[in-house]
C-alpha cells in the first residue's frame, strides 16, 4: 500500500527536478545552441531504452562514437550539472521530510528518552549519559572530490531558492523572481571550470572542510543541543551550558601517511587557519548575544560579581570601557559582551597582547558570570537561551574549531630513530623487532634524553613532534587528541613514536 504522504513528497521532488532540468536545458541553448540540447535528449532517450530492453547499449555506443571530443566534453558537463541539480533538490526534500517528521514528533531526542524510560532506564541515568556522551565525527578530504568551492556555493544558493519556492507563502511573482535567479546561477555554474587545474594542498582542503563545518557549527548543532537540553529538563535534568555531546575532528593537515605535502609547517598552518575561523565564529556569536541582551539596570538588577567585573574592566581597559559605557549606558550585559568581543578580536589579531584571552576557559568564566547574574535576576530564560548556546558553541569549538588527528606511517619513525642512533654508532636498522623493542623500552626508561643534533630531521618526525608540542603549549592539549601510527606490525612500531615524542 502506498503512503500518500510519501507519494506527495515524491511527486514534489520529481516536479522540482523536472523544472530545474528544463531550466538547465534553456541554459544549454543559451550557451551552445539547440544542437547540444537535442544531443542530450537523444542520449537520455537511448538510456531510457536501456532500462526497458535487454540490450540497446550498442545503439548508445554507436551514437557516442560519432561525437568529437569537444562535443563529448559538453555532453558530459551537461549531465554532470544535471545530476548536481538533481542531488541538490533531493537533499532539500530529504531535509524537508526530516523536519516534517521532527515537527510531528515534537523532539526526536524526547522520543529517545521515552524509549529509554520504557525499557527501565532511570531518568538520572539518562541525564548522566547525555551529559557525558562524547561523539566526535572526523572530517577528511576525499581524494576524488573534485567540486570546487565556487560550485558548492552556487548549489547551496539554489538549494535555498528551491526551499523558498516550495513555501506556501511564495506567490507567482516570487516564483518567477526565484526562477530568474536560478537561471542566472545555472549559467554561472556552466561557465565555471569545475575541475581544479592543480591538486589542492592541505590548506586548500582545510578551507573546503571548514566550508561544511562552519554551517554545521553555526546552525545545526546548537539546535540539536537545545532539543537535548529541553528533553532532559522535562525529566528533571539539564544538559548544562558546558556539556556538549558532539565535537568535531579533522584529518586534513594531519594525515601525512603517504602525503609528502603534509609537512610540520603545513600542520601548523592548518591549525592556525582553524584557530582563526573558530575565533571569527565566536566573535559573531558574541555580536548576536549582545544584540539580544539589552537588559537594563533601570528595569532589573545585576549580581555583585558582574558589577565588580565591570569595575575591573573599567580599570584594566579604561578607554575601551568608556566607549562601550557611552554606547550601552545602563546595559551591563551589552557592555560585558562588547569587552568580550574586544578581547576575542585581540586574541585573533594579536594573541600575545596582554588583553587577549589565554584560552577558552577564560571566556567561559566571563560568560558564566553573566549567566549566574541573569539566573539570579529573573533572566533564567535568557541565560538558558542565547547565552547557553554561545557557551555550548565555545565548549564545542574552543579556539581550535576541530581536533586535528595526526597519522604517520610506522616506517617514518624508524627512519628517524635510525638517524638518531646512527649518531651513537648503534646499528638500529639492522636490529630485529624484538631487539628494537628492548632498545626502545630501555630508552624510555632512561633519564638521558635521546637528543638530536641541531637541524636533524627538522621536516620529519622530530620536526612534527616539536611543532605539535609548540602548538599544544599555545592552544591547549585539546587541539590534538589522537596520534595514529599506520601499518604497525609489532610493539616496536608503537614505542618508536613514544621515544621521539
What 8-state DSSP symbol labels residue 216?
I
Q: For residue 11, what pLDDT band results from cuts at 50, 70 and 90? A: confident
pLDDT at 204 exceeding the cut of 90: no
CB 399 within 8 A of CB 273: no
From 407, 413, 406, select the one nearest 460 (Cα to Cα). 413
Q: For residue 394, what pLDDT band results from cuts at 50, 70 and 90? A: very high
Instruction: Quote the pTM value.
Output: 0.80
Please state the φ and ψ torsions of residue 135, each to the nearest 5 degrees. -100, 130
Nearest-angstrom CA–CA distance, 191 and 72 = 16
Over residues 278-327, the pLDDT tens digits come to 999 999 999 999 999 999 999 999 999 999 999 998 899 998 888 888 88
Q: What is the pLDDT of residue 44?
A: 86
3-state helix, strand, coil in the chain (%, to 5): 70, 5, 30
Mean pLDDT is lowest, of 132-141, 396-405, 450-459, 470-479, for 450-459
Domain(s) of CATH 1.20.1440.90: residues in the chain: 276-403
> In terms of pLDDT, which residue wins out, 216 or 142?
216
Q: What is the pLDDT of residue 252?
A: 87
Specify the CATH superfamily of domain 276-403: Phosphoenolpyruvate/pyruvate domain (1.20.1440.90)
pLDDT at 376 exceeding the cut of 70: yes
The whole-chain average pLDDT of the chain stands at: 87
- What stretch of H or E contains 406? strand 406-409
What 8-state DSSP symbol labels residue 485?
E
Q: What is the pLDDT of residue 194?
A: 76
From 353, 332, 239, 249, select the one nearest 290 (Cα to Cα). 332
Grid look-up 597582547 returns 353
Amino acid at each position: 500500500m502506498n503512503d500518500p504522504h510519501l507519494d506527495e513528497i515524491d511527486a514534489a521532488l520529481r516536479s522540482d527536478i523536472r523544472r530545474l532540468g528544463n531550466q538547465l536545458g534553456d541554459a544549454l541553448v543559451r550557451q551552445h545552441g539547440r544542437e547540444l540540447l537535442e544531443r542530450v535528449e537523444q542520449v537520455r532517450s537511448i538510456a531510457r531504452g536501456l532500462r526497458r530492453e535487454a540490450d540497446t547499449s550498442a545503439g548508445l555506443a554507436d551514437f557516442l562514437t560519432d561525437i568529437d571530443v569537444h562535443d563529448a566534453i559538453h555532453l558530459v558537463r551537461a549531465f554532470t550539472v544535471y545530476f548536481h541539480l538533481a542531488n541538490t533538490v533531493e537533499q532539500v526534500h530529504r531535509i524537508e521530510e526530516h523536519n516534517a517528521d521532527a515537527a510531528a514528533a515534537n523532539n526526536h531526542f524526547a522520543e529517545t528518552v521515552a524509549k529509554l524510560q520504557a525499557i527501565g532506564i532511570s531518568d538520572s541515568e539518562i541525564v548522566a549519559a547525555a551529559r557525558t556522551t562524547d561523539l566526535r565525527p572526523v572530517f577528511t578530504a576525499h581524494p576524488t572530490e573534485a567540486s570546487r568551492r565556487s560550485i558548492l556555493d552556487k548549489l547551496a544558493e539554489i538549494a535555498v531558492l528551491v526551499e523558498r519556492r516550495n513555501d506556501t507563502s511564495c506567490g507567482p511573482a516570487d516564483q518567477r523572481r526565484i526562477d530568474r535567479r536560478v537561471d542566472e546561477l545555472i549559467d554561472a555554474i556552466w561557465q565555471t571550470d569545475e575541475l581544479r587545474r592543480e591538486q589542492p594542498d592541505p590548506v586548500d582542503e582545510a578551507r573546503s572542510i571548514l566550508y561544511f563545518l562552519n554551517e554545521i557549527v553555526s546552525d545545526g548543532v546548537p539546535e540539536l543541543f537545545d532539543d537535548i537540553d529541553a528533553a532532559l529538563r522535562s525529566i528533571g535534568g539539564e544538559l548544562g551550558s558546558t556539556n556538549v555531546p558532539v565535537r568535531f575532528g579533522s584529518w586534513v593537515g594531519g594525515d601525512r601517511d603517504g602525503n609528502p605535502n603534509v609537512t610540520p609547517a603545513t600542520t601548523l598552518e592548518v591549525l592556525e587557519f582553524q584557530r582563526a575561523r573558530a575565533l571569527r565564529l565566536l566573535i559573531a556569536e558574541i555580536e548576536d548575544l549582545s544584540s539580544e541582551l539589552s537588559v537594563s539596570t533601570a528595569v532589573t538588577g545585576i549580581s555583585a560579581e558582574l558589577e565588580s567585573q565591570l569595575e575591573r574592566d573599567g580599570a584594566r581597559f579604561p578607554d575601551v570601557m568608556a566607549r562601550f559605557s557611552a554606547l550601552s549606558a545602563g546595559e551591563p550585559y551589552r557592555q560585558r559582551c562588547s569587552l568580550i568581543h574586544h578581547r576575542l578580536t585581540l586574541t585573533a589579531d594579536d594573541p600575545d597582547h596582554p588583553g587577549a584571552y589565554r584560552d577558552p576557559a577564560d571566556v567561559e568564566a566571563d560568560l558564566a558570570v553573566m549567566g549566574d547574574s541573569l539566573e539570579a535576576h529573573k533572566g533564567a530564560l535568557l541565560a538558558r537561551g542565547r547565552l547557553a548556546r554561545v557557551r555550548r558553541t565555545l565548549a564545542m569549538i574552543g579556539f581550535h574549531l576541530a581536533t586535528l588527528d595526526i597519522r604517520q606511517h610506522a616506517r617514518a619513525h624508524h627512519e628517524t630513530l635510525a638517524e638518531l642512533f646512527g649518531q651513537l654508532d648503534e646499528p638500529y636498522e639492522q636490529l630485529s623487532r624484538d631487539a628494537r623493542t628492548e632498545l626502545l623500552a630501555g630508552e624510555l626508561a632512561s633519564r638521558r634524553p635521546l637528543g638530536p643534533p641541531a637541524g636533524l630531521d627538522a621536516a620529519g618526525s622530530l620536526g612534527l613532534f616539536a611543532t605539535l608540542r609548540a602548538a599544544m603549549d599555545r592552544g591547549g592539549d585539546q587541539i590534538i587528541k589522537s596520534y595514529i601510527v599506520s601499518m604497525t606490525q609489532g610493539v616496536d612500531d608503537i614505542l618508536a613514536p613514544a621515544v621521539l615524542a
